[in-house]
Chains A and B, each alone.
Chain A
Amino acid sequence: MQLTIHAKGEGANVLSFLLAKHPERLYEREYKGHKVRLFYQCFTPNEVKLTIYAVLDAISLVRDGGEKLDITHYINDREFAVSSLFLSLIRSPLATALNGLPKEEYLPYVEQVFQFSFSFGPVNTDLSVKNLRELFSPLGFTVSVQSKTKNSPLYVTVTGETTLQRGLRQLFILIPVIDNYKHYYIDEKEAEKLQRFGEGWLEDHPQKEWIYKRALKYKGLLNGTIFQQGKVEREKKQKGLNQRRYEKIIEIIQAKPHLRKIVDMGSGEGKLSTRLGFLPHVSEIIAVEPSERETLKATKRYAKAAENAGFLMPIQKWGSVFYYDDGLKNKDVFILCEVIEHIAEEKLQTVMQLIFQEYKPEVCIITTPNKEYNTLYQLGETMRHYDHRFEWTRAELHAWVEKMTAMYAYKATISSIGEIDHERGGPTQIVVFEKGVMI
């Protein structure tokens, strides 16, 4: 991780005073085993070039890290990439320049403009070169980028007329924005830095809001950026669809008040079970989910719902359709809402056998995507979710349902959820199996 500062212009050699770094001496400091070094390559009255770089102690770096223990924790680019970690290491050596507080006699030169090139790297970013230009051009820089291949780390040079202090302050704000490291620790200092270092330029930057968001990396805000617009809209549509699925399921359950005991299989973060908890005639909800993360979310959601009157707390069970649980037998309703498409098709048979032959609910409600509808999402051949094992057309679902009703003592009705396209049907298909006599 390194930063090279190259300044041209009359009296550029004042930089050594602005930086408080002697050109004929090597500068080296150690901090927690990491080394920060500075040296000059050129020092004339009209041209100055210097590099500041850090050599990290890889072992203490991972020890500081702590909890997450897989191999990616030990082998990662943090040791090399220009990041907030680098900035925290060079902040103190560059403090004089950043604060614009050299010895009094050089104070007037703080505002002196030179022709500057700041080169830094390696940069690992999810931003395109175009994005980088959108960040630096409004500040009067031209951007050039060096990289081996399209996906390789970058070495970035920004060139423009500016003061040393201003240029450095801009880098201190923009480098963390560019770096795509996810586990970036934000504290109040960081917000304060934005205030101070951003003074006089960030306010007028056309990408100001976005810079703020990325710099502070508030959870979830990344999705709201200009770069993610398309995805957001699709997700919005699907969110609406989720609601409609829940509404439909509730409608079915409400139409049959004798259905009192409900199993929500693959209950995820508990959205459906929470809604079921408010149905007055329901006497038991068992929410079955195997994922720790989702279970924790669900627990919170239920606790929050329980603050309202008339909420029946769902019983959370750790499990999945691949395990047998005595406590799920002979309930009234089994719901598999957007679950079966996550199961390998060849494993589905065992799952249905377990439900229809062992658990034997009165009603089993299954929802699953309609593959035909995907064209309207412009998904091409990709499925709606990376974890989907299959998505069925209406005919495929129909054939499967027929097979099920032929094998087990259930009859079934199929319908649609969501806006119906007259050619492709609705986005979601729903099957309601009801216990009946085997034909």
Chain B
Amino acid sequence: MKRITLPNAGVVLLIGPSGSGKTTLLQKWVNSGQIKESEVLSSDKYRKIVADEEYTSVENKNSEKAQILFEQYQRISKEAFELLELTIQARCRLNKCSFIDATNINSDDRKKLISLAHRHHLPVSAIVLDVDLDTLLVRDNERAMPRGSKRIKQQMKRFQYDKRYLKTEGYHQLHIIKELNHSLEIERMDEVPSIDVGAGIDIIGDIHGCFTELLQLLEKLGYEENEQGLYTHPLGRKFLSLGDIMSRGPRSLETLLFFKNHVNHNLAYMIDSNHGWKIYRWLKGNQVTLRHGDELTAKEINQWLATYSKEEQKRLKDEFIQFLGNAPAHYIIEDDGVPMLVCTHAGIKDEYIGKSSQQISDYCRYGESSSSTEDGRPIRDEWYHHHSGHMTIVWGHDPRPYPTNINATINIDQGVVFGGKLTAYRYPEKSFISVDALKNYNGVEHNPIIEWKNKRLQPPNIQALIEGYRVQIEGFDDVSVKSKYIKPVIGSLSTSDTHFNQLVYLPPTMSPVPIPSQLPDYLEHPLEAFQYYRDHGVNQLIVEKKHMGSRGILLIFKNEEEAFNYTGISNLGAIYSRSGKRFFKKDIEEQILTGIQSSLKRTDYFDKYETDFVLLDCEIMPWNLKAQDLINKQYNLVAESAILDRMILDKELNEALVENHWLKENQEKLERAESFQKVYEKYCWEVSDIDRIVIAPFHILAHSGRVYHEQSHIWHMDHVEELSEICSIFRRTDYLLIEGESNWERVIGWWQEMTEEGHEGMVVKPNQFTIWDKGKLLQPALKVRGRKYLQIIYGMDYLEEKNLERLKKRNTNRKQKLALQEFSLGIEALNRFVKQEELGRIHECIVAILALEGDEVDPRL
């Protein structure tokens, strides 16, 4: 019995003249279940598909007729082959195997198919059926639609002639079969091994011979050493190395032996990598230059081998060669049969996934090096910007100080050998666990971790932003932003005086209560907000009075040194608006920040909370600080125009000769105009000096290393209370807690009273900062604005029945979606800031928030 090995993905050419047994052979394999019927692409079938007949016989026709029939046949064949090729291409793209059942006797035709497969990085195998002419002629006579001896002889001649090229056409495998053996069997190769996630998998970044750290990490992950010295997990988890397990570091040999042993025992996996490949070629005796730490690995191996006999040495070397040579360029990890993760060393292109070729292996080992630094070191192209789709690519090779999650790619090389960390990415938990390096094993020169830290505050890369991008947010859905919304944001931020390094958070927009009030003379009412949360299973709510000022973000550092450490700027911090613009003039900002900072220092705030800074989300009052222009040009003008118009009309209507209802109607309108003016006058006062400025914080966004979005709002309110006692510029916010429906009435009363006085209204929030219902993020807050306040939003006469009726048809869906996206982006920005990630990573969140704000949503919501 002869066995031949064929690929799982690729192209298999059956080669031989008509009657050589191609179809018969394939049919046998199909019948025995060795290949799928759909894998067979037969030219006869394609002729039938395009022209309803498999073959045009010219037997027994005169030469003129035969000529015409043959031309017809050729036209059909041409169409059939074009369609056949398209099918092969599609199957190649989808990583399928195609058995081509055609004569394939012409070398040029074969080359076309070979290059097609190679373009898709798939192997081509050939099965040549070399049957003698006599047999062919006999068989042709027996078939239902004989091709005729003339055709068979022609084909045979071409087949024999072009056979000589077979060896050089570039087949992955070439099987020449002289006689059809009935017991010919095939074996399918496993091209790119898939791993079932099983009990879980722990993917480990570049180890570089840091064996001690590796063992520490495995222990931290819960692996235990058994009697045979193997590390196993009580739950049956396995670990997978992304390669580069050796070189540069101190214990390369032990790491190599460790992995070889674990891989052989089916406890671990390892991927091919640049260092692994170098050592492999060195072991095989190839001419290679050993550097970048490979010389250290070679030295360790040589010293070790020297303790063995010649034969033992050969055996041990071969074992290493086999181990390193068998490491695949990438692994696909499947969960429930679905490919979820791709693990590779330096990177991969989407079209390479699930395939293997020399080119793909090289790409996975080295990534894409497009240019080099002045001293010749390669600068790696950011291949991960081109990844699309939700399959996550986990990779190493390019060390960075923390795991980076960009565009569904996760880098977990934290440069342990450079004094960084050794990281494991746990799947399906999607969590990171790492151990610190015991030391920097590699010195400071060209230390990527140090270089990375130095470059942290470099200006954001515009090319990564301008064409649109997707932000991956830990714990929330990704957010995509489009180029057309980004461009104006870049324009606006380029005129902002705020340092980008200090622009670390922007507040999300907030939706009003999604359902309009059922009451006839209200547009918004608290009842619907309470119901929204109750219907989503949230009972503990907090309602906070909404101050009417302008949103401001305060970043205050303990001292200028810490400020410099975080932001590269030696000042006390920044105050900026929700559009990212500096809130105050520079000198006033300095005065305010100095005042706050000295109060906080005096009361040991920074020590008490072990923080270098505090970041606050606030409302800054009075409104006219920011809105003076709007008040003068819009609100005052509108109010005065309306009052003047309606006052004079009142006088004229009083004198009207004919009795009418217009007078009364106008009087009501005059009252509303006056009330409109009072509404915003309440929010304005003269600011002669900074003592007249009031800041009401409501979220303590972050301290060193901590983001407080898991803390309850009660916690935030208590903290604000503390701040207001420390520093007089801070004002506490009135709030009430709702424990259930029995509290609703009391809170509605509170809101009524407050809003009738002209206050803006209140914000209803679940006490828990971030809250989910059935896997969906709920609105973190809903605003319920007062009847009077809404005059300055919807116009002074909005409560007139005919107006209100139309306004109640408003739709808040888009606003709600934006609120959630901006909320999660804000939290992501904070997380990145406290981790001191590089500026570009923080800035992409900021730009995304502003880009979302550029979306056309009714600004009155």
Contact = CB atoms under 8 A, between A and B. Distances in A.
A153 B460 contact: no
Interface string A7-28: 0000000000000000111100
Contacts of A76: 634, 637-638
Contacts of A344: 497, 582, 586
Measured as residues with beta carbon below 8 angstroms from the partner, the interface class of chain A is 35 or more
Contact of B635 (A25, A75, A350): A75
Interface in A290-309: 290-292
B459 A124 contact: no
B794 to A, nearest CB: 7
B640 A318 contact: no
Contacts of A201: none
A64 interface: no
Nearest to A389: B497
A4 B652 contact: yes
Given A2-B648, A59-B803, A81 B641 contact: yes
Contact of A291 (B460, B491, B634, B657): B491
Contacts of A42: 655, 657
Interface in B799-816: 802-803, 806-807
Interface in A120-136: 121-122, 124
Interface residues of B, number: 60
A69 B571 CA distance: 37
B777 interface: no
26 contacts: A2-B652, A39-B657, A39-B658, A41-B652, A41-B656, A42-B657, A49-B655, A51-B652, A59-B795, A75-B634, A77-B637, A80-B638, A152-B640, A152-B644, A153-B637, A292-B487, A292-B488, A292-B491, A318-B466, A318-B487, A320-B490, A320-B494, A321-B494, A325-B462, A346-B499, A346-B586
B493 interface: yes
Contacts of B657: 23-24, 39-43
A354 B568 CA distance: 14
A318 B468 CA distance: 13
B792 interface: yes
Contacts of A151: 632
B610 interface: no
Nearest to A327: B463
Given A75-B635, A124-B637, A318-B487, A350 B645 contact: no
B72 to A, nearest CB: 53
Contacts of A124: 637, 641
A43 B655 CA distance: 11
Interface string A334-353: 00000000101011001000
Given A59-B807, A81-B641, A320-B490, A39 B660 contact: yes
Interface string B460-492: 111101100000000000000000000110110
B494 A80 contact: no
A326 interface: yes
A319 B637 contact: no
A335 B630 CA distance: 37
Contacts of A103: none
Interface in B779-824: 792-795, 797-798, 802-803, 806-807
Given A69-B857, A153-B640, A318-B490, 5 more contacts: A41-B657, A42-B657, A321-B494, A322-B459, A344-B582
B793 A326 contact: no
A151 B635 CA distance: 13
Given A39-B658, A77-B637, A319 B644 contact: no
Contacts of B655: 41-42, 49
Contacts of B490: 290, 318-320, 323
Interface of A: 1-2, 4, 23-26, 37, 39-43, 49, 51, 53, 57-59, 69-77, 79-81, 121-122, 124, 147-148, 151-153, 155, 290-292, 318-327, 342, 344, 346-347, 350, 354, 358, 387, 389
A290 B806 contact: no
A380 B632 CA distance: 26
B569 interface: yes
A70 B494 CA distance: 21
B497 A347 contact: yes
A379 to B, nearest CB: 20
B649 A342 contact: no
B461 A324 contact: yes
A78 to B, nearest CB: 9
Nearest to B857: A69
Contacts of B488: 292
Contacts of A26: 658, 660, 662
A152 B656 CA distance: 27
Interface of B: 458-463, 465-466, 487-488, 490-491, 493-495, 497, 499-500, 568-569, 571, 582, 586, 630, 632-635, 637-638, 640-642, 644-645, 648-649, 652-653, 655-658, 660, 662, 792-795, 797-798, 802-803, 806-807, 856-860
Given A79-B795, A324-B461, A350-B459, A2 B649 contact: yes
B648 A121 contact: yes
A323 B460 contact: yes
A24 B656 contact: no
Contacts of B632: 151
Contacts of B806: 59
A130 to B, nearest CB: 21
Nearest to B665: A55
B601 to A, nearest CB: 23
Contacts of B638: 75-77, 79-80
B31 to A, nearest CB: 59
Nearest to A58: B795
Contacts of A147: 644
Nearest to A289: B491
Given A42-B657, A59-B803, A155 B462 contact: no
Contacts of B487: 292, 318
Contacts of A321: 494
A62 B806 CA distance: 13
Nearest to A43: B657
A344 B797 CA distance: 43
Contacts of A4: 652
A58 B800 CA distance: 11
Contacts of B652: 2, 4, 39, 41, 51
Contacts of B497: 344, 347, 389
Contact of A75 (B461, B648, B792): B792
Contacts of B798: 58
Contacts of B465: 323
Given A4-B652, A122-B641, A122-B645, A325 B463 contact: yes
A354 B461 CA distance: 12
Contact of B662 (A37, A71, A320): A37
Interface centre among B462, B499, B500, B642 (most CB of A within 10 A): B462
B375 to A, nearest CB: 15
A148 B640 contact: yes
Report, nearest first, the 7 A-B pairs whose CB atoms are least far apart: A320-B494, A323-B462, A41-B655, A80-B641, A290-B494, A344-B497, A290-B491
A69 B859 contact: yes
Contact of B860 (A2, A74, A324): A74
Contacts of B797: 58
Nearest to B806: A59
Contact of A325 (B461, B499, B656): B461
Contacts of B462: 318-319, 323-325
B658 A80 contact: no
Nearest to A347: B499
Contacts of A58: 795, 797-798, 803
A39 B494 contact: no
Nearest to B797: A58
A71 B792 CA distance: 9
B460 A324 contact: yes
Given A70-B859, A350-B459, A387-B495, A39 B656 contact: yes
Given A26-B658, A42-B655, A152-B644, A323 B461 contact: yes
